[in-house]
Structure 1
């Protein structure tokens, strides 16, 4: 199980092959570590990152990415080792890139 993240210039078609035209950058190396950290979040708590489904797809627009950036420090506190920390820092970079430009989307692709 893992969560891959893709940054898109426009709302992607949630179909792997058809979405390549809007893809800017992806994160594919830290999926298992990121999924482990996200699974530790309580789904009843407020926040965007608790909504990410490690088993399905979740889409954030630039406003949701901006809100999720405020959740990163708490997520970093939950990391159990360096590999999880690297995964969360990679997530933070993509959230920041998404939040800085209207019309961008982050697609969390779960297993």
Structure 2
């Protein structure tokens, strides 16, 4: 199980081949560690990142990405090692990039 994240310039088509033209960058190396952190998120306390489905696809627009940035410090406190910390820091960078790019989306691709 793992979660990959892709930043797209516009809403991607949920089809791997057809979504390539909108891809800005992706995060593919932290999948298992990120999934483990996201499974531990308390939706009541940590907001929208708790809505990311580690087993399916979840899409955030730039406003949702911006709102999710406030949840990152709590996620960092939950990390159980360097792999999870690296995953959350990568997530933070993608959330920030999405929130600063008008019309962009983050696509969380679950396993």
TM-score range, shorter chain: over 0.9
Q: Deviations over 1:2-61 (max 9, x none)?
A: 000000000000111110010000000000000000000124445110000000000000
Post-superposition, which runs of at least 4 consecutive aligned residues in structure 1 deviate over 6 A? Answer: none
Residue of structure 2 in register with 1:108 after alignment: 108
Give the TM-score taking structure 1 as reference length: 0.97
Q: 2:43, 2:91 → 1: CA distance?
A: 19
Paired residue secondary structure (2:93): helix
Q: Which runs of 5+ in 2 are unaligned?
A: none
Give the TM-score taking structure 2 as reference length: 0.97
CA RMSD of aligned residues (A): 0.9
Residue of structure 2 in register with 1:99 after alignment: 99
Q: 1:101, 1:81 → 2: CA distance?
A: 31
The change in CA–CA distance for 1:44 and 1:70 in structure 2 (over 3 A counts) is: closer
Q: 1:14, 1:22 → 2: CA distance?
A: 12
Residue of structure 2 in register with 1:63 after alignment: 63
Q: 2:71, 2:42 → 1: CA distance?
A: 13
**Structure showing the higher helix proportion among its residues:** 2
